[in-house]
Structure 1
Amino acid sequence: MSTNKSNINFKKISDFAGTEIGNDLVHSIAANNPLPYVVLDAVTFKVELANGLNDYGDILDKTCFSQFHKRSLQCTNAMYPCPIDELRRTGKPVVMEHIHSSGNGTSSEMKLHAYPVMDDNGWVSKVIIYF
């Protein structure tokens, strides 16, 4: 039995942006992802969405550098460069290691995978990082 692919209606998640279906879909995908991750605003560095990072407490609407590194300013350490800066520079995903300090006071080296989300003009507007 063959399938006529022209009759199949594929949609992008962005087709649902701003709709109740789109919001539910994004939250369902986010809640069911088994890997700890954050979605950051690439301009403000604030956490917009997070999952699987319970040791850090309430991190939403707080900067990544304040929550993961206990810093008041953006990371600039050459040994642990800012993944957002790398994404802006290259426009390509990056993998790097960082030392993160959790809300319970422990620090550990973590491998992070950062992916750019581009706006309509080709600029990095959001960053997805999973650990």
Structure 2
Amino acid sequence: MTENTPGFVQKIIDSINHPFYVIDVKTYRIVFANKACGFGELDENATCHVKTHKSSMPCAEEHICPLTEVKKTRRAVKTEHIHYSRDGEPKNMEVHGDPVFDENGNLVMMIEYAFDVTERRKAEEGLTAKLYALEKHNKIMLGREKRVLELKKEIDGLLVELGRQPKYGA
């Protein structure tokens, strides 16, 4: 197989294990995608928002739209989205958008590729929950320790009132 062989670029792109696709900046239509996307055949209705968000409208408030950002900044962007698999399963995806310019410097396409970070997010959430529990436990323990010190001080005060030696040196 050589670079002149029909399907050469598709074969190379299909070798990438992460979703990789090219979007027309005017129509939001996906014009090229690898197999990892799981999009199947692409038609004129194959927009990025339909295929990844099951939405008839481009990303808005909930997610930063990489295409909108690339149009605005003309630079590569990175964000995180919830995308949906073909079976409707939500996935945390780190989404990258890179601009493609024509020979006149006009933005014509955007390359978008994504990495599934679902397991990493779940691990982070688990660690955050553990950290919260440990901080709460630590606060309780420090409160108890403080109370013990106060009680020792109080006992020493009472011992002094009784004319005895303080027991704890508080």
What is the TM-score with the length of structure 2 in the denominator?
0.57
Residues 36-61 of structure 1: per-residue CA shift (max 9 Å, x gap): 2111111111111112122xx42623
1:87 aligns with 2:85: no
Q: Which has the higher helix share?
A: 2
**Structure 1 stretch displaced more, 91-100 or 118-127:** 118-127
RMSD: 2.0
Higher Rg of the two aligned structures? 2
Q: Residue type matched to 1:58 in 2?
A: G
Residue from 98, 105, 109 that aligns with 2:88: 105
Aligned residue for 2:52? 68
Aligned residue for 1:36? 19
CA contact (8 A) 1:47 1:59 kept: no
Identical positions, percent: 34
CA contact (8 A) 1:59 1:67 kept: no
Q: Which has the higher strand share?
A: 1
Distance 1:85 1:22 in 2: 35
Q: CA deviation at 1:24?
A: 4.0
- State the number of aligned residues: 109
Aligned residue for 1:121? 104
Distance 2:5 2:57 in 1: 34
Over 6 Å off, 4+ runs: none
Q: Residue type matched to 2:107 in 1?
A: V
Higher relative contact order (CA 8 A, sep 6+): 1
CA contact (8 A) 1:40 1:49 kept: yes
Q: Which runs of 5+ in 2 are unaligned?
A: 115-170
Q: CA deviation at 1:75?
A: 1.5
What is the TM-score with the length of structure 1 in the denominator?
0.73
Aligned residue for 2:144? none
The structure-2 alpha-carbon separation of the partners of 1:37 and 1:87, relative to structure 1 and needing over 3 Å to count, comes to same
Q: Residue type matched to 1:118 in 2?
A: F
Residues 7-33 of structure 1: per-residue CA shift (max 9 Å, x gap): xxxxxxxxxxxxx92864432332333
Aligned residue for 2:132? none
The SS at the match of 2:4 is helix
